[in-house]
A and B are shown apart, each in its own frame.
Chain A
Amino acid sequence: MSAAVEGHIVIIGAGQAGTQTAEALRSGGYTGAITMLGDEPHGPYHRPPLSKAWLAGEMGEAQLVMRAPEMLAKKGITLRTGVTVEAIDRAAQKVKLAGGEALAYTGLVLATGSTPRSLPLPGIGAPNVLPLRSKDDASAIAARLTTCAERSLPVLVIGGGFIGLEVAATARKKGLAVTVLEAAPRLLGRVLAPLLSDWYAALHREHGVNLVLDARIASIETDAAGEAIAVLMTDGSRHPCGLVVLGVGVAANDQLAAAAGLACDRGIVVDDCTRTADPLIVAAGDCTARQLADGSLLRLESVQNATEQGKSAAAALLGQPRPFTATPWFWSDQYDRKLQMAGLSGGADAWAVRGDMGGDMAAGAAFSIYHFRAGKLIAVDSVNSAKDHLQARKLLDAGVSPTPEQAADGGFDLGTLIPKG
């Protein structure tokens, strides 16, 4: 499309990707109107602390604010919260809101995020069975954690992924009894190498988490008031609880896009520059599935993806395509361990460990696992080793690969492999 220097760009979604897009439009020289529509009652806020510092009570609610609404106003970004978008009329270039209002657009950004998945279990609808995605979800969980502490009730976490494990670590920090039920034979099975899954299992067990792998849940038992009081397993065992946290993944919010006839495949299909097939519509963040050169689709749920795609979305609408092809990265804080992941480790056939995995979980344990496929470095997972992580991103961005022997040799400076300049 031609550079839309004037007009009205509508952004559906007021999270990380939506906010980034709005600000990047302004810094990219766009002087027209921008309206950002959020379905939550809150302005843009930081999500990563919700399962960590904020849930632990280490930061106040105001500290979650990503941009004060008046700061957005100063940039000429109109923020409307509590707004439900019902449909996109591409032919008329309009967005239809609940209540009948229609907003005309000259450019449209879909930054609709994702929704936590549920499970088809009896009792799943109990008020103390909660996902953790939004600030309101986190507030509800925080309140329930307090109740659990007061009544000495255990916390049950369904799902041994990042959200579940971060909540488990936070609840343990608060002294609560915690059980994690994971259906797979290992934690974080889709993202971590087996030896790192085992390491995380040991870490959580060492911190007192009751970890159940290969968990088969039959139902959630509720009391007369409808509250969940236990999780029942198919083997007849029973885990009492005062709170169940559901951490079984998210699904992209692509319904609006699909209904408007845009290609969707477990996310809104976009190219490297966040473009859909409609030249007026881009999509950014968790709601997207990026089509790679080989035709496969890449779904990323991360802050980096939201910010980088947000920048690309703004650039695409301004007619200055900015591909986002940097190495994906992600992090997770559990107890005093920071896991930082660079690259995508799927399909790895060899691993090398650098540093000390500390068999006794010693506080000093700092190490990285280098993933190789057909002899080429494809990903690095670092625990308390920010230096390895940052170096890994440079190595992967440059497409240079150490040998597994070099990666495992702490005396070999991997930095020497990074091309200068």
Chain B
Amino acid sequence: MPNITFIEANGQSTTLDVPEGWSLMQAATANGVEGILGECGGSCACATCHCYVDDLMAKVLAAPAQGELDMLENVADERRPNSRLACQIKASAAMDGATVRLPATQE
């Protein structure tokens, strides 16, 4: 299981063993990472699981699909080049050791 670290805007850090195939949103919300809301349950419909991925994660990830890009246009906090939706990121072994940073607000 890849080890992935979530760092909240206030510096709070949580490292989780995320089962492969799980979305980062799912792992974060089930395990009390408060900076991710995931209100729609992972359907790419609410844009409340916005995160900033590090270079390691970025290298592994496929480019976002149009639906994700459209949602990213409407995230609550600043959108950056490394902005993604955590519900669209499925954990894989290649992500072991990656870090995602969370914005100060999701709504």
Contacts and interface: CB of A to CB of B under 8 A. Distances in A.
B42 interface: yes
A67 interface: yes
Interface string B34-73: 0000011111111100000000000000000011001101
B24 to A, nearest CB: 12
A48 B70 contact: no
Contact of A338 (B29, B30, B45, B47): B45
A71 interface: yes
B70 A331 contact: no
B101 to A, nearest CB: 21
Interface stretch (A167-175, A189-197, A345-353, A382-390): A382-390
A290 interface: no
B39 A307 contact: yes
Contact of B70 (A47, A53, A63, A386): A386
Interface of B is mostly: loop
Contact of B32 (A59, A68, A340, A386): A68
B44 to A, nearest CB: 8
Contact of B67 (A47, A53, A68, A386): A386
A49 B42 contact: yes
A303 to B, nearest CB: 6
A44 to B, nearest CB: 10
B71 A303 contact: no
Contacts of B70: 385-387, 390
Given A47-B41, A49-B42, A303-B39, A384 B67 contact: yes
A67 B29 contact: yes
B71 A386 contact: yes
Nearest to B23: A63
Given A303-B40, A340-B45, A390 B67 contact: no
Interface residues of B, number: 24
Interface string A28-70: 0000000000000000001111001100000110110111100
A421 B46 CA distance: 21
A331 B29 contact: no
A358 B55 CA distance: 39
B31 interface: yes
Contact of B42 (A46, A74, A304, A338): A46
Contacts of B66: 386
Contacts of B23: 63
B67 A67 contact: no
Contacts of A381: none
A333 interface: yes
B30 A390 contact: no
A387 B69 CA distance: 9
A67 B43 contact: no
Nearest to B47: A390
Contact of B41 (A60, A74, A303, A385): A303
Interface of A: 46-49, 52-53, 59-60, 62-63, 65-68, 71, 74-75, 303-304, 307, 331, 333, 338, 340, 384-387, 390
Given A387-B70, A387-B73, 6 more contacts: A68-B31, A71-B30, A303-B40, A303-B46, A307-B39, A384-B67
17 contacts: A47-B41, A63-B22, A66-B41, A67-B30, A71-B30, A71-B31, A75-B32, A304-B39, A304-B46, A331-B43, A338-B45, A338-B67, A384-B67, A385-B70, A386-B44, A386-B66, A390-B70
